[in-house]
Amino acid sequence: MTREEAKKTIDELIEKIDHYNALYYQESVSEISDYEFDQLLKSLEDLETKFPEFKYDYSPTQRVGGTITKSFDTVTHKNAMLSLSNTYSEEELFDFDKRVEKGLEGQSYEYLCELKFDGVAISLWYENGVLQRAVTRGDGTRGDDITTNARTIRSIPLKLRSVSSMPNEFEVRGEVFMSRKVFDALNAERELKGEALLANPRNTTSGTLKMQDSSVVANRKLDCFLYYFQSDDRVVSTHEKAIHLLEKLGFSISKTYKKCQSIHEVIEYMKEWELKRFDLPLDTDGIVIKVNELNQQDQLGFTAKSPRWAIAYKYKTQSATTRLRGITFQVGRTGAITPVAELEPVLLAGTTVKRASLHNANEIERLELKIGDYVFVEKGGEIIPKVTGVDLENRPYDLEDFVYTEVCPECGTKLFRKEGEAVHYCPNEAGCPPQVLGRIEHFIQRKAMNIESLGPETIRGLLDHGKIKDVADLYALKYDDLNGLEFKIYSDKKEGYSVRSLRDKSARNIINSIENSKSQPFDQLLFGLGIRYVGATVSEKLVEYYKDIHDLANASYEELIEVPEIGERIAESLRLYFDDKNNKELIKRLIGFGLKTKVDETKEKKGNNVLEGKTFVISGVFEKVSRDGLKELIKNQGGKVLSSISSKLDFLVAGDKMGPSKMEKAQKLNIQTISEDDFLNMIGKND
């Protein structure tokens, strides 16, 4: 095949595949089988391999991913992505309508209504019909460049259909989401592997878009609905026409929008979809109402935070009544006991609810719960089920009072509850299985020791076979301890499990990852120890003051509370941890295995310590440097970053959109407020 023939065939295959793709995502029509589609894609891949000069960025083969992105660049939006004003009240919708009527001074107007999808907002930029950049909403002014990952989403066109009179450059906005079907399948797969279940589709979508490996993103099968078109040249006169234009260009549009001639029609649309929305394949939480005419949108303008020509109506939380079958107890990494309501399955907000959190003993007492009660269940934010009350009128007369457990459900140890706290704890840290497992899982995570290739099911296998008892034992593991190790994969605890074993390559990867983790810095080790109330940020604060774990372990309660942002609760927890003889022995063993338990001060400092002894709070949006960038500059120059304003603070670095309460508090305490430029001048970097 000649180069000319190859180019022609490649162009034809791209056009054909894009055609079938558009039919599937826009019309839900499959003209060919999956096998035939895959064969077309394989033919294209083979040709692109033989003629790489014709492998275009917009080729359908680029959707499979594989590119690794270590960090995501921050991009300033050309047009700010403002949030909408929210309301839960019909009355406030009428008030909104009155404001529109007044602002348009007697002109006739109409609304376009759309469903409000529970996903992640995205901005797409096209030049000459080809996708150039995809950016998250971020703070509305700046977002993250996720172009590599967005290319894997099949409902986002990489190259648009030819439409006459289109500007060379334009922006399209929409919502990336994960369908409930895909989410449920993903969680079923994770459950089979013994991995922690994902919380909800929206959070999973957000996390997926920021994954480093785009091939993993491709496998997550994200989707996208587009609903907004903008360019320097106005090519349409109404929002409705903009939607039709997006359809012609090949974008995936939800067919649920409707033009309404009055606010009364808007209310009808709102009521129509209140229950019907649960039949959709994705989650929704309300509707968006926009003035249709774009010139009228311009006339109405914006407030500082949102457009005056649009508003979002949020549906009230859905509730249902069902029977409480029982109450079980879960044990967390820190020994915290969480009671869980076991419910007769009930359909709520489009999903079947079988369990709901009861938080603690105080909540059970407040609700006066009894096993056998009929309870009211809601989905907080339409995601997390919770029991909100008891249907006392239907309570059976012979129910007994519920007695909260006095012993740990996993190890039988007597529980304790600290005065003033609502949560019960199991004190058997060393012998309670879920606590041991939880601490090891916490220790190996990315923000801590970053031990890759070691999953929860493997850890369970190591515990079951007596290979490890705590995190220090990980560093004594040998290849032979892992190769051939059998572990259980639970699909459903009631139905049993399957047994798998580690192979040579996996065993070697785990050993190498454990060895590599010894280079993790002191603050990440401190976080990984799982000391109660000591998160990643607190760990960073502590190692700024205590460069060696021995200094921290020997610091008195009074010395600890003098450290900025280390309060009484954290100081007490630190003392309890370091006074425990088992923890002392654990740290001694970790030091013996070569882990970093002190700050490496031999490394060349990046800054010149001009901010030595100075403390800063950063608030707002900045133009030249990101907030994380400012924090890094402060640390590199010897300063310290605090999270709240107090009398110990030296400077408040104030950016755009900073909350008025922080400014007011800083003024009351006579704390100096400086701008981004003031700060950069202070360290000699305002270039």
Catalytic residues, by residue number, are 116
Whose CA is closest to 24, among 281, 252, 254? Answer: 252
Neighbours of 580 (CB within 10 A): 13
Q: Which residues contact 133 (CB under 8 A, 6 or more apart)?
A: 75, 124, 125, 145, 147
Beta carbons of 362 and 379 less than 8 angstroms apart: no
Q: How far is it, in rounded angstroms, from Cα 619 to Cα 74?
A: 18
Beta carbons of 41 and 17 less than 8 angstroms apart: yes
233, two tokens: 């040249």
Which residues face 609 on adjacent strands? none
Q: How far is it, in rounded angstroms, from Cα 226 to Cα 229?
A: 9
How far, in Å, are 100, 394, 567 from residue 108 at the CA level?
10, 53, 60
User: Could you tell me whether strands 223-230 and 169-177 are parallel, antiparallel, or unpaired per DSSP bridges?
Assistant: antiparallel
CA atoms within 13 Å, Cβ hemisphere of 122: 30
Which helix (DSSP H) or strand (DSSP E) does residue 311 occupy?
strand 310-314
Indicate the SS3 state at residue 358.
Answer: coil
Q: How far is it, in rounded angstroms, from Cα 561 to Cα 568?
A: 6
φ, ψ of residue 41 in degrees (nearest 5): -65, -40
User: Could you tell me whether strands 142-144 and 130-136 are parallel, antiparallel, or unpaired per DSSP bridges?
Assistant: unpaired
Q: Which residues contact 118 (CB under 8 A, 6 or more apart)?
A: 177, 201, 202, 282, 283, 284, 285, 382
Starting at the edge strand found earlier in the chain, the sheet holding 111-117 runs 86-87, 310-314, 284-291, 111-117, 258-260
Starting at the edge strand found earlier in the chain, the sheet holding 130-136 runs 130-136, 120-127, 169-177, 223-230
Q: How far is it, in rounded angstroms, from Cα 239 to Cα 595?
A: 60
In the DSSP assignment, the letter for residue 50 is H
Q: How far is it, in rounded angstroms, from Cα 534 to Cα 2?
A: 65
Q: How far is it, in rounded angstroms, from Cα 633 to Cα 640?
A: 10
Q: How far is it, in rounded angstroms, from Cα 552 to Cα 574?
A: 9
User: Could you tell me whether strands 640-641 and 615-619 are parallel, antiparallel, or unpaired per DSSP bridges?
Assistant: parallel
Q: How far is it, in rounded angstroms, from Cα 173 to Cα 123?
A: 5
Beta carbons of 549 and 543 less than 8 angstroms apart: no
